[in-house]
Structure 1
Amino acid sequence: MCNMTIQKFIKARPYLIWYVRDFEALSEEAVVEAVLNYGDFDDVKKIITILGIRKIAQIFKKHAWRKRSNYRPEIKNYFKLYFRKYAPSA
């Protein structure tokens, strides 16, 4: 894991979560959702080094399949396959 905190990570990338002013108040779930939905693959790789792939996969699986989800359909499909391959036990 990395020394960078999730708040420092998202502060450096305000384009991912442009609708929020207080980055300190964001949960890990909100940051993961923003990165998976709007980030590029470098952003995804960086958040994986910060939180770990298993934790991100668990957050994704917990939130992506709810009745009301903010994940876009193509994002849900891609990361479902991605985490199935790289974090199958999460």
Structure 2
Amino acid sequence: MARHRAPLIAHHKDGSQCPPSHKHTTSGKPLHPDCPGRYLFESVCTCGTWKLSGGIKSYINDERKRHLATHRTADELPQGPAALRRLLRLDAS
């Protein structure tokens, strides 16, 4: 079975893709002289049924990871104490 992917891609305000060579500070300020700054983040899954875009990178990345986890088979799921801790989380997420 093919493994699904959903790359996280940054875009400039004009809609052009912000390449990985355009480095930014942790606050998002562009360090590359030709970069106007990241405006939008987008992720599209290769399954063809999921797409998400927005201005907050961490939110898009978390949702991307959550969606990709739905494609995992039982033998790909993590085993052991880490998996048990996730199952027993007491928070509302």
TM-score scaled to structure 1, two decimals? 0.25
Higher strand proportion, which one? 2
Under a length normalisation based on structure 2, what TM-score does the superposition of the two structures give? 0.24
Question: Which structure has the bigger radius of gyration?
Answer: 2
